[in-house]
Amino acid sequence: MQVIRSIAELRAWRKQAASVAFVPTMGNLHAGHIALVNEAHQHAAHVVVSIFVNRLQFGQGEDFDAYPRTFDDDCAKLEAAGVDVLFFPLEAELYPHVRQSFNVEPPHLQDELCGAFRPGHFRGVATVVTKLFNIVEPDFACFGKKDYQQLAIIRGMVEDLNSPVQLVPVDTGRADDGLALSSRNGYLTSEERAEAPRLYRNLTLMREALLSGDSDYAALETRARQDLEAHGWRVDYVEVRQAQTLEIAHAGEKNLVVLVAARLGKTRLIDNVEVAR
């Protein structure tokens, strides 16, 4: 595996490469990231992974400085997964002027769901992904469905800006007890880790109710919120939305997604399930 630090070197490599599938990450890799890499291998001759902890998507009081940097371990995992190139730029390489004068501004969706609790987060995501797409010039880019709102925003950005990249959504990786794989799971205490699967259990119950024909979305959302709060969670949201657009869902719609974000102790977890009726 080749480790590349500069944009110029990566662009020189890209000129000699055939098709490329790209997996952008912030490092601290787990089995969910490797599943993205494995999917990328199915679509292109070469796989490029980036590791970059993007300051722009962290809000005030969030864990930018504390975010785990595990470069050596990440490299070992990526090499074992057959990655061709790891793009690992310094912050000054991607943001040479420190502050961005131009940013990619998503539509109203950036201020809903997670965006309502993390102002500016999706602007930071859209900006850095655009920069990485411009640098790597991938034919395919793999994104996990766990960050469903992020996937929806990136999908809209690619369509509206005519980016020549095909997005590949990848199903959420889960532990045996259902907990969605996430770098933030490492922040959980042993007691919190035992409680954490409740998030997915509530989503599963909501999916079963929706599939059985229940269209009282508000009641389903309230029931899940109350169960989580009764067990010590602080719930940001539990919502049923349209799967493709993430607009507010109405009774009778066929393709839905149930999304949740809640805090267990100091750790904020997100998850979702799709519902095709």
d(CA 172, CA 30): 12
**Longest Cα separation, the chain:** 57
- 124 assigned ligand-binding residue: no
- 157 assigned ligand-binding residue: no
- 211 assigned ligand-binding residue: no
- 149 assigned ligand-binding residue: no
Residues serving a catalytic function are 33
- In 54-176, which residue ranges form alpha helices assigned H by DSSP? 71-80, 91-94, 114-117, 121-136, 148-160
Amino acid symbol at 31: A
* Sign of the four-CA dihedral 28, 30, 32, 33: positive
- 144 assigned ligand-binding residue: yes
> What's the token pair of residue 138?
């991938």
- 33 assigned ligand-binding residue: yes
- 32 assigned ligand-binding residue: yes
- 146 assigned ligand-binding residue: yes
Asked if residues 42 and 35 have their Cβ atoms less than 8 Å apart, the reply is: no
- 174 assigned ligand-binding residue: no
d(CA 29, CA 171): 16
- 26 assigned ligand-binding residue: yes
> What's the token pair of residue 20?
């490329």
- 29 assigned ligand-binding residue: yes
- 2 assigned ligand-binding residue: no
d(CA 218, CA 260): 14
Residues 6+ apart with CB under 8 A from 236: 114, 116, 117, 261, 262, 263, 268
Question: Hey, is 118 helix, strand or coil?
Answer: coil
- 183 assigned ligand-binding residue: yes
Residue numbering of the annotated binding site? 26-33, 57, 144-147, 150, 173, 181-184
Residue numbering of the annotated binding site for (R)-pantoate? 57, 150
Residue numbering of the annotated binding site for beta-alanine? 57
Residue numbering of the annotated binding site for ATP? 26-33, 144-147, 173, 181-184
